[in-house]
Amino acid sequence: MKTRLRRTWDRLSLYLPVLLMGLLAMGTWWLVRNAPVLRPPTAEGAPRHEPDYSMKGFSVKTFDGAGRLQSEVQGQVAHHYPDTDTLEIDQVRMRSISPEGRVTVATARRGVSNADGSQVQLFGNAVITREPLRQRDGKLLPRLQFEGEFLHAWTRDERVRSHLPVVLLRGHDRFTADSMDYDNLDQQLQLRGRVHGVLQPPAR
């Protein structure tokens, strides 16, 4: 009996390493299969140029502390794009009134404004008009109008620029140029390219 048990134990001891290796292999396979997979970090994709909100047939007005109208923006449709923080407006019409009472109106088929409205780009039949104004000293500022397929306006700096042909009307005078840079604060006007002007004699 003892001899038979010893033989059986000897046989088992021969296969024991094989069994242990099999168990170890099965355990390793189970761990690999059930371990959580660590995915490589994925870089966030660039934000798409898609609107996060839209408006139709709208009118937005701003007022100063005394309740006086400062500006008004109207349009058929407007889309806000968060990736550039810009507002794109179809059939845009903008009207602003300076503290001195100077009225400026801008219209175009399409307009693009930055977040605070300090820059406005007008596309397609763009017109910016500054209405005439009688100053306190009695001097009359004539009507000033810019026309073109593209006008870029800086509302706070009172600048208008275009790299495309423009028409400038100042009172009864008329100028045309291939490009333009107008700075109202510095009272400077630069007309470039093919420049033509027609000056009318002052009215008596």
Shared-domain flag, residues 168 and 115:
yes
Shared-domain flag, residues 58 and 22:
no
How many domains would you assign to the chain? Answer: 2
**pLDDT tens-digit readout, 41-100:** 555 556 677 888 888 998 888 888 888 888 888 899 999 998 888 889 999 998 888 777
Shared-domain flag, residues 94 and 188:
yes
> Is 97 within the bounds of a domain?
yes
Shared-domain flag, residues 22 and 113:
no
Shared-domain flag, residues 116 and 15:
no
> Is 43 within the bounds of a domain?
no
Shared-domain flag, residues 21 and 59:
no
**pLDDT tens-digit readout, 128-168:** 998 888 877 878 888 899 999 999 998 878 889 999 999 99
Shared-domain flag, residues 87 and 29:
no
Which strand (E) or helix (H) includes residue 33? helix 2-34
> Is 40 within the bounds of a domain?
no
Tell me what the mean pLDDT of segment 27-39 comes to: 47
Burial 151-178 (b: 16+ CB within 10 A, else e): bbbebeebbbbbeebbebbbbeeebbbe
Chain position carrying tokens 């690999």:
32
> Is 47 within the bounds of a domain?
no
Q: Would you place residue 35 in the very low, low, confident or very high pLDDT band (cuts 50, 70, 90)? A: very low
Shared-domain flag, residues 28 and 126:
no
> Is 140 within the bounds of a domain?
yes
Shared-domain flag, residues 118 and 179:
yes
> Is 127 within the bounds of a domain?
yes
Shared-domain flag, residues 84 and 168:
yes
Residue type, 77: V
Shared-domain flag, residues 108 and 10:
no
Structure tokens, 175? 């100028």
The range of the structural domain enclosing residue 132 comes to 53-198
Shared-domain flag, residues 2 and 69:
no
Query: What predicted TM-score, i.e. pTM, was given to this entire model?
Result: 0.71
